A and B are shown apart, each in its own frame.
Chain A
Amino acid sequence: MSQMSTATLAGPRRRVTTLLGRHPVGMVFVTPYVLFLAAVFAYPLGFAVWMSFHDYFFAAPGAIVDRPFVGLDNYKTVLTDPAVRRSFYNIVIFLVINVPLTVVLALVLATALNAAIRGRTFLRVAYYVPYVTASVAVVGVWLFLFSADGLVNSLLGPLAPDPSWLVNESLAMPTIAIFVTWKQLGFFILLYLAALQNIPKELYESAAMDGAGPLRTFWSVVVPAVRPATTLVVILATITGANLFTEPYLLTGGGGPNGASASPVLLMYQRGVEQGNPDVAAAIGVLLVIGVILISLVNRRLIERD
């Protein structure tokens, strides 16, 4: 190609390049995804916040109805509703049990698995089987195991709680928290396993050189080295916990007994869909998300400070 033709070609092309980038076809490639994000995330996100500040109700499609701005009224309704307050209290109990248990068990099992020589494949699969199974399916077997005359109570004999686990006001939420820990643990073990495999061998060697025993090595080498993974595990477990719906809906028959295991998302379903107050439900959602963000920020501060 001669020098001349290159120069004449490059002129307009360079202008296009600065305007659209070197591969404008990329815009075409991402268009379906961007449209999807706009329709399913961005717009509903704004809609949720808008709805929570307006008197929103279901109307016939196409009907033009007035939906006046009501300020913080929906939030007032939510915060003075004892059932909603109870559900937020319940989720705090849930998180206090679920998150530390998840972090400790996942890290211990991942560390043991990382050092295991035989049966690693079998163990890895065994650990994530509950994670890949539908909640609805495993809820079925937990209902069976934890029913009043179920296997767990026959095993405990006279120590069995009365009323039984899922119908006991003070045990229903903790049982759900343990169920979710069991169900999700495999995923968090895999996260920790990835983090453990990135720890340089030299760290273990120098710990051994200093005469550190296994517990000491675990505490002063492994725990600090996986700290970023711990932040992630805590935040993801908090988000999963705040999304709790299927378990109280099915395990405790809709958040019973007496709302002792109702979750905020369950209340959103009851208020928004069953009772037709989507504006109140949207306000619960906004408060819940603000709560999750605050908890995550505080946790991150606590875990990552030195």
Chain B
Amino acid sequence: MALDHPESTVATAPGPPADLDRTTSPQMPGRRRGVLRALILLLGAFVFLFPFYYMLIGSLQAEPDTSLSGVVPKGNLTLENYSEINGAVNLGRSLVNSGIFTGGVLLFTVVFGLLAGYALARLQFRGRGTIFALVLLVQVVPFQLLLIPLYVLIVRSYNLADSYLGMILPFAINTTAVFIFRQFFLQLPDDLFSAARIDGAGELRILWSIAIPLVRPALLTTILLTFIGPWNEFLWPFLVTKQADMQPLAVSLANYISNVAARAANPYGAVLAGACVLAAPAVILFVAFQRSFRTSDIGSGVKG
């Protein structure tokens, strides 16, 4: 039913075009083609996953072993590298900074992004068309053009260097998220809204008790997509934070790689241990919620 969450159509999306397999061509028997395809896919998976495996075992070895036989570790795994990197960059503090940076962006994006997305999809008011055109325009303005003026304004003029606000501000409301929210609110049936309005419900109430529950899957997708932005961002927090105790993990790990690593006993081990800590939250989230990370959502978010 249409009232069901809008993604139901996506979740049951047309799977593999089965006909492609059955229409065997004379040149190439279907089974051989299947084997070739499986080979390509598995090779792809290996190339994508192997560095992560190597990262994990590298972080657990006391001595770096870069020979071919070192790919399969032979016992004596240790957590020494983790305490080494923890001594150098204070992992806990960096993780808290990353968390506040990411949490702030998520909070602003969800609250103000939902309001804007709902208004752009469901409310008629003067200037709506102009604002929507602006949303499209913003998506094509590259960050590198804004980099220097934002640095001048936020760090030099507003004195927000080494502050969470300075970190969060340029990313506060993710425009792609506003866009995805709008797309999903647009897909809801009109009758729902007119019925609620006739019953005298205010717009905020309609948004909160009718619209948001219906787009919950989209909300999860958007949160996942928004999460990786600030969590993985390096350049901006690197420019804004100079004090070590304000740096998110991506920045403190990068500083370790470029300044300190050369002097450590097992530099790669410590770097890889830090890399595992930085990568783990994003990877775990995306594996756990892989169902919510659907292709069509991103497609609609980027294409319009």
A residues apposed to B, CB below 8 Å: 19-27, 29-30, 32-34, 36-37, 39-41, 43-45, 47-48, 51, 56, 58, 61, 108-109, 112-117, 119, 121-130, 132-145, 147, 149-151, 154-155, 182, 185-187, 190-191, 193-195, 197, 199, 201, 204-205, 208, 211-214, 217, 228, 232, 236, 239, 242-243, 245-246, 249-250, 253-254, 264-265, 268-269, 272-273, 278, 281-282, 285-286, 288-289, 292
Contact = CB atoms under 8 A, between A and B. Distances in A.
Contacts, number: 333
B120 A30 contact: yes
At the interface, is chain A mostly helix, strand, loop or mixed? helix
A33 B178 contact: yes
Given A147-B66, A191-B298, A37 B134 contact: yes
A243 B151 contact: no
Interface stretch (B20-28, B72-80, B212-220): B20-28
A278 to B, nearest CB: 5
B223 interface: no
A264 B144 contact: yes
A281 B52 contact: no
Max chain B Cβ within 10 angstroms of own Cβ: one of A37, A51, A195, A199: A37
A199 B19 CA distance: 13
Interface residues of B, number: 105
Contact of B40 (A109, A126, A213): A109
A160 to B, nearest CB: 12
Contacts of B95: none
Nearest to B300: A194
Contact of A214 (B33, B54, B149): B33
A24 B124 CA distance: 7
A99 to B, nearest CB: 16
A116 B275 CA distance: 32
Given A147-B66, A264-B144, 10 more contacts: A23-B203, A27-B127, A48-B148, A122-B45, A129-B52, A132-B286, A137-B253, A140-B257, A208-B25, A269-B235
Interface in B1-45: 13-14, 16-17, 19-21, 23, 25-28, 33, 37-38, 40-41, 44-45
Interface string B129-143: 001001000100111
Given A41-B138, A113-B41, A115-B21, A133 B125 contact: no
Nearest to A244: B144
Given A33-B116, A135-B232, A191-B295, A143 B149 contact: no
- Taking each of A26, A115, A139, A249, which has the highest tally of chain B beta carbons within 10 Å of its own beta carbon? A26
A119 B55 CA distance: 24
